[in-house]
Structure formats: C-alpha cells, structure tokens
Amino acid sequence: MLKIGNTEIKIPVAAAPLAGITNLAFREICSELGAGLVYSEMISSNGLVYNSGKTFSMLESSQNESPLSVQIFGYDPDIMAKAAEIIENKSEANFIDINMGCSVKKILKSNSGSALMKDPDKTKSILTSVRKAVKLPLTIKIRSGRDTSGEDALLIAKIAQDCGVDAVAVHPRTITQGFRGCADWSLIKKIKNSINIPVIGNGDINTPEDAVKMFQETECDGIMIGRAAVSDPFIFRHIKSMLERGVYEKTSIKEHFSLMKSYLEASVRTLGEETACKMMRSRLSWFVKGLPHNHVFKEKIKMISDKNSGLEIICEYESLLKKI
C-alpha cells in the first residue's frame, strides 16, 4: 500500500500524466483496469488563474477515477499557489502534483517543467507558496536533471521534503534525454535512501515483470506507468495480478476490442461526438499495435466522423482477426 499524506492508495501503481492522452475517458479506463492512482494531463497554472475555459475543462472528473491527482505547471510562485487553491476548491482532486519533469521545448522556454530543476531557489519558492496555500497532499514529478549524475534530482527531492511535499515521482532520464536511452533506476533507489517521504518510480516499465523488478531493485513505494499504458491499459490489471498472485492472464482479443469500444464511447460521452471522433482517429490506432493487418484498420479509422461508424470499423477488424 502507498500512503501519500493521509491518503492510502491500495494499489501502488499510478497512471502517469500524459499531455493530450490522460483525459477523463482514459483515466476512467485505467482506474477500471487496476490503476491505484490516476493523473490529469499537465494543466497550465496561468490558464486556471486567468480563467481559461479550455483549461478549466481539464479539471472535469468522475467518481469512476478516484483517487485523482491534478498536475499543474508554471514558473510564478504566486500564480502556482492560486492555481492550487482553485484545484482544491473547484475540483474533485485528491492530490495536487507539480510538473518538474516535462522537457518539451515549449515548456522549457517558459522556465517551467524540468527547467525548474536548474533553479533550486525558484523551486523552493514555488513549493513553499503552494504548500502554504492548500491542505491537499502535494507531490512533484522530476527527472534526473541536467546530467546523468542525478545530483539535481537528489537536491530537488530534499528541498521538496523540507517544503512539506508529500511524495516524489522520479523519471530517471536527463532533461535533454527525453525518452531516449534507458532510465537509470539506480537513481530512484538513491533518492529513496536520501528522503523519508514516499518515492514513486517511473520509466521503462513495459511489462508486469518490469514492474516487479522496479520494486525489487529500487525499493520504491509505488510505480508509475506512462507510455506502456497508451496502447495497452490492461497493463494495470496485469501488474495488480503480478503483485498479488505472482502471475497474470493475458488479455483476450474479445477483451481488447471491448476496451476499444468502451474507450470510444467514453470519449464521446465526455468530449462530445465531433471532438472525440477526431481524437480517436489516432488514439484507436495505438490499440492495434502489433496486430495482424492493422494497416487496414488504421486507414479506415482515420475517416471516422461519428460514434457508430467508429464502432462498425472496430467490429469489422475484430471479425477479420477471428477468421485468421
């Protein structure tokens, strides 16, 4: 069990925040399949404070996805604190997370995301301001920092603990590394040994076996799954089974296609048919990665404009695979 602040998370496996992906529909699916904690997409603190309708819509949630952590990014301590207050007062969030791990150029240019790891004083100011502003448990997500030594991460983790942060998630790749190369899990263990608050390990968990291995090698308190869940959210169910019983059953074709239909329907329900269908043109393609004749499905799904046509294409492809 993972405990962040006074909140107990029964399954110590989180669905990582992913821009453009971890919206309400996707989070509901991850929760249903066994994720013990889900994160919102990265939300602009400026957007919340200056009352952007589009930004506020990202706070929408449901009882089907609890517990929920809302992740914000920004650079100004006062703005970040006000954004955190808005989340606490106007959303159903159970946690507030501050992004210090995004290394996208646009975010770095705004001195947000992992750029904060280069500025410990600014980081301390932000964390102090946010901690004073809200009572919800506060967490951060970080990278290794500017180089592979991990010194930046170790320093930021200690600052976070001193500022009253309740947990730290660590993706042990450098700022410039992006998703290239391998995550250095040894840094997760170093950080775990250097602070007394929970540490969540993230990076290169592609299978249930990887999940068990990370727990064993790093002694982390929880793990976080990102890219591996995009095309196969069943990984949460498999990891849960591995942790509880040491084995897991592979997903059947029927279950896989049932999930695709549920994802489409949930997206239409939460986003509206037109927006959802445009999004599903790419999202559903990820779900057929590695399946036979998937190019046929990918070409057809690019054209969907309504829920029924999308469901029809999914059913057609499912029937095709049953014949092989």
Tokens of 242: 């591995």
Is 102 an annotated catalytic residue? yes
pLDDT tens-digit readout, 176-217: 988 898 999 999 999 999 999 999 999 999 999 999 999 999
pLDDT of residue 86: 98
Main-chain phi, psi angles of 280, to 5 degrees: -65, -20
pLDDT of residue 1: 77
Residues in the chain: 324
**CB-based contact 301:313 (threshold 8 Å):** yes
pLDDT tens-digit readout, 206-255: 999 999 999 999 999 999 999 999 989 999 999 999 999 999 999 998 99
Q: Under CATH, which number does the domain 2-245 receive?
A: 3.20.20.70
CA count, 13 A, side-chain hemisphere, 54: 5
pTM of the model: 0.94
pLDDT of residue 179: 87
**CB-based contact 77:52 (threshold 8 Å):** no
Task: Output the CA–CA distances (angstroms, integers) from residue 190 to 17, 157, 169, in the order listed.
Answer: 23, 11, 13
For residues 58 and 34, what is the distance between their CA atoms, to the nearest angstrom?
A: 22
Tokens of 145: 């920092």
pLDDT of residue 295: 93
For residues 153 and 118, what is the distance between their CA atoms, to the nearest angstrom?
A: 10
Which part of the chain is CATH 1.10.1200.80?
A: 253-323
pLDDT tens-digit readout, 111-156: 999 999 999 999 999 999 999 999 999 999 999 999 999 999 999 9
pLDDT of residue 324: 74
- Among the listed residues 30, 102, 163, 220, the single catalytic one is 102
In this structure, the number of other CB atoms found within 10 A of the CB of residue 49 comes to 19
Tokens of 210: 């990887």
**CB-based contact 101:171 (threshold 8 Å):** yes
pLDDT tens-digit readout, 278-308: 999 999 999 998 899 999 999 999 999 999 9
Taking the chain, what is the end-to-end CA distance rounded to the nearest angstrom? 43
Tell me which architecture the domain covering 253-323 has in CATH: Orthogonal Bundle (1.10)
Proportion of the chain in helix, strand, coil states, percent, rounded to 5: 50, 15, 35
Which part of the chain is CATH 3.20.20.70?
A: 2-245
pLDDT tier for residue 100 given thresholds of 50, 70 and 90: very high
pLDDT tier for residue 60 given thresholds of 50, 70 and 90: very high
pLDDT tier for residue 322 given thresholds of 50, 70 and 90: confident
**Mean pLDDT along residues 246-268:** 95
**Mean pLDDT along residues 4-33:** 96
